[in-house]
Every structure is written in structure tokens, then in C-alpha cells.
């Protein structure tokens, strides 16, 4: 990646902030994660597990939604506003433009995943200290007397509410929104994630690892989804790109099901057709493994090996799709 591609990626990230896409989805994600508090209260013994599962599903769906929406609009918006001709008049190749827009999507999604995962870990810490006396003791011993004021649930919820209230501030103050560059956002979000992960690990170590590894797999999945969206965006309109991308995402998430259809209920021709489709689309089900795999409880699938192979799979698919996107965009008539 050269300086031109990186500059296009940073511009795309700032464009996503200016269009308020990231903030809108962050608000939706925060609301959904907090909704998991209500779901967790339905079960006494499995409240943390319910919250974590619901939170990761939320992060996955919304992160892929961001990738599809941004991928459908980034290239077309440059063409519609005529800024594409200005870029191509400079020493910028079309494949550099495609790669830069793709990296801009990944930067935006990465910030969303980091912030939402930090919030989910904070909720895990809150619930874990209430559900287990031993966890509460470990938490109090770890954080020291500085946080003993937050013993009551009301005070902890108030502190969490103050954090959530800071999310929509850039929507109200344009100058603050313009100051949120990638170099400023990533360290702050990363520090929040590290702090929340450390506290959650003290209270519920297995669930904390589950959230972190799950968030990493979501990012790998989004890398493929964003490349699919860029492929369709290289030759189509935003609406058609979004519809096709959502269709591919739905099919790719169902590849395992299409390959394991019951023989009694489906004829052989239908099963053969669906299995053929499952072989030519990316297998996004790979990034949603069974809970035992992410908790390192499955000896047949070591966690580090599984994550490494999943990341390699995502890189290979994303690389191939981006190469096809660059070739199609290079041949596209822009007149």
C-alpha cells in the first residue's frame, strides 16, 4: 500500500464520519447491546452467556451492514459528485482508488467493532459482578478502592450511561466530528477496549476471551463482505450493489446449511444445486464457529490454529475479489 492509497483510505474514513454513518450504527449497536441486559435477566445461571451471544450477533450484523452500505456508495459517490475525474487526473490508478476505498471501509468497521466490543465487555463486567460473589470479590481486589464507590447497580449504570452519552456528541458539534481523525480515534477506542477487557477478564475470563476472539472473527468476515460489496460497486449502482451484497451475505452465511440438507425433504437435484452454490461463494459460516471452539474447549480445533486459518481464508477471498473489482473498474466507461 502506497501513500496515495492510504490517503484515499483516510479520506474515505473521514467521509464516513461526515455522513454520520458510523455514529448512527454505533448508537444502534449500543442500544442493542444494552437490550441484552434485559435478555440476560431472563436466565439466572446463563445471563452472561446470553448477553455475550446477543452482543456478538449484534456486532456481526451491524458491522456487515456498514461494510455493505459504504461499499455500495463510496465509488458511486465519487462518480456522481465528479470528484472521480479529479482523482484520476492525478497520478492515481483505478486499482489504487478501489483499494483505498476498501481500506476506508475496514478502518470504519474496525472502529465500530472496537467501541462496541468494549461496551459489551463493560456490560459483561457489570453482570458478572452481580451474578457471582467470587467474581465480585476478584473485581474489587483488582480495581482497588478507587472504584468501590460503584458498588450499587444504579451508580454503575449511571457511569455506563455517561460513557454512552459521549457517543452522540460528535453529532451535535461539527468541529468535534472533524477532529475525530483515524489517528485520534483508534488509540482512544483501543485503550477503552483494553481497559474493559482487563476488567471483564478478572470477572469472567472465558467470556472475555470469547468476546475478543469473536470480534476478531467478525472483522475477518467483514473483510470478505466489504470486498464483495466493492466487486458489485465497480460496475453497478448503489441500490443494485446493496441488494446483491445482502443476497451474497445471506447465502454465504447459509453455506453449512446448504451442504447438510436432509435427504428426505429435498430432492437430489435441489441438493446438488445448493451444494454447487455453496462451493462458489465464500463460506462466512466459518467465522461463526461453535461456542466450544472460541472457548478452546474443542481439542479437534485449537483456537489459535482456527483463527489463523480463518484469517488466511478471509485474506485470500478478499484479495481475489479486490483483484476482480480493480479489473472491472478499470474497464468501466466513466463518460
Helices assigned H by DSSP within the chain: 3-18, 21-40, 47-80, 83-89, 94-131, 133-143, 153-165, 169-172, 174-179, 182-203, 205-233, 238-253, 255-259, 268-280, 291-294, 303-330
Classify 255 as helix, strand or coil.
helix
pLDDT of the residue at 313: 95
Rounded-to-10 torsion of CA 173, 177, 183, 187: 60
pLDDT of the residue at 146: 47
- Low-confidence spans in the chain with pLDDT less than 70: 1, 40-45, 81, 129-184, 263-266, 296-300, 334-335
Which sign, positive or negative, has the C-alpha torsion 44, 48, 49, 53?
positive
pLDDT of the residue at 228: 95
Per-residue exposure over 168-187, b if at least 16 CB sit within 10 Å of its own CB, e if not: eebeeeeeebeebebeebee
* 66: nearest Cα among 283, 219, 255, 248: 219
Task: Kindly report whether the global pTM for this prediction surpasses the value 0.95.
Answer: no
pLDDT of the residue at 216: 94
- Element (DSSP H or E) covering residue 266: none
pLDDT of the residue at 289: 82
pLDDT of the residue at 40: 65
Apex CA 194: angle with CA 51 and CA 105, to 5°?
Answer: 80
User: Helices 205-233 and 303-330, interaxial angle, to 10°?
Assistant: 20
CA separation, residue 29 to residues 23, 125, 259 (Å):
10, 18, 32
Spatial distance between the Cα atoms of 334 and 84, rounded to a whole number of angstroms: 9
Q: For residue 51, which phi and psi values (nearest 5 degrees)? A: -65, -45
Tell me if 240 sits within 8 A of 248, measured CB to CB. no
pLDDT of the residue at 181: 63
Tell me if 295 sits within 8 A of 210, measured CB to CB. yes
Tell me if 6 sits within 8 A of 60, measured CB to CB. no
* 182: nearest Cα among 120, 110, 230, 75: 110
Q: Could you read off the pLDDT of 219-267 as tens digits, one per residue?
A: 999 999 999 999 998 888 889 999 999 999 999 998 887 777 776 666 7
Classify 8 as helix, strand or coil.
helix
pLDDT of the residue at 133: 47
* 21: nearest Cα among 129, 112, 87: 112
pLDDT of the residue at 10: 85
Amino acid at each position: 500500500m502506497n501513500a496515495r492509497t492510504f490517503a484515499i483510505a483516510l479520506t474515505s474514513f473521514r467521509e464516513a464520519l461526515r455522513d454520520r454513518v458510523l455514529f448512527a450504527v454505533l448508537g444502534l449497536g449500543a442500544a442493542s447491546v444494552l437490550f441484552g441486559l434485559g435478555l440476560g435477566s431472563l436466565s439466572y445461571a446463563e445471563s452472561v452467556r446470553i448477553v455475550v451471544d446477543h452482543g456478538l450477533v449484534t456486532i456481526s450484523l451491524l458491522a456487515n451492514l456498514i461494510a455493505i452500505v459504504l461499499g455500495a456508495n463510496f465509488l458511486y459517490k465519487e462518480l456522481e459528485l465528479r470528484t472521480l475525474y479529479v482523482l484520476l487526473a492525478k497520478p492515481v490508478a483505478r486499482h489504487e482508488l478501489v483499494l483505498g476505498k476498501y481500506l476506508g471501509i475496514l478502518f470504519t468497521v474496525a472502529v465500530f467493532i472496537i467501541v462496541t466490543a468494549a461496551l459489551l465487555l463493560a456490560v459483561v463486567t457489570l453482570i458478572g459482578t452481580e451474578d457471582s460473589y467470587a467474581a465480585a470479590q476478584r473485581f474489587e481486589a483488582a480495581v482497588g478502592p478507587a472504584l468501590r464507590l460503584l458498588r450499587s447497580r444504579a451508580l454503575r449504570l449511571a457511569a455506563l450511561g455517561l460513557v454512552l452519552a459521549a457517543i452522540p456528541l460528535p453529532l451535535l458539534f461539527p468541529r468535534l466530528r472533524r477532529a475525530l481523525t483515524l489517528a485520534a480515534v483508534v488509540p482512544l477506542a483501543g485503550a477503552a477496549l483494553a481497559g474493559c477487557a482487563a476488567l471483564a477478564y478478572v470477572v469472567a475470563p472465558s467470556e472475555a476471551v470469547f468476546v475478543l476472539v469473536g470480534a476478531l472473527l467478525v472483522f475477518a468476515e467483514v473483510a470478505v463482505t466489504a470486498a464483495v460489496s466493492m466487486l458489485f460497486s465497480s460496475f453497478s449502482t448503489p441500490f443494485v450493489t446493496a441488494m446483491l451484497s445482502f443476497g451474497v451475505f445471506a447465502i454465504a452465511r447459509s453455506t453449512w446449511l446448504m451442504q447438510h440438507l436432509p435427504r428426505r425433504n429435498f430432492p437430489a437435484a435441489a441438493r446438488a444445486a445448493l451444494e454447487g452454490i455453496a462451493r462458489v461463494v465464500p463460506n462466512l459460516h466459518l467465522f461463526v464457529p461453535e461456542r466450544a471452539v472460541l472457548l478452546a474447549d474443542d481439542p479437534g480445533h485449537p483456537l489459535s490454529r482456527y483463527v489463523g486459518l480463518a484469517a488466511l481464508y478471509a485474506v485470500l477471498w478478499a484479495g481475489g475479489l479486490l483483484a476482480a473489482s480493480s479489473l472491472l473498474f478499470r474497464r468501466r466507461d466513466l463518460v
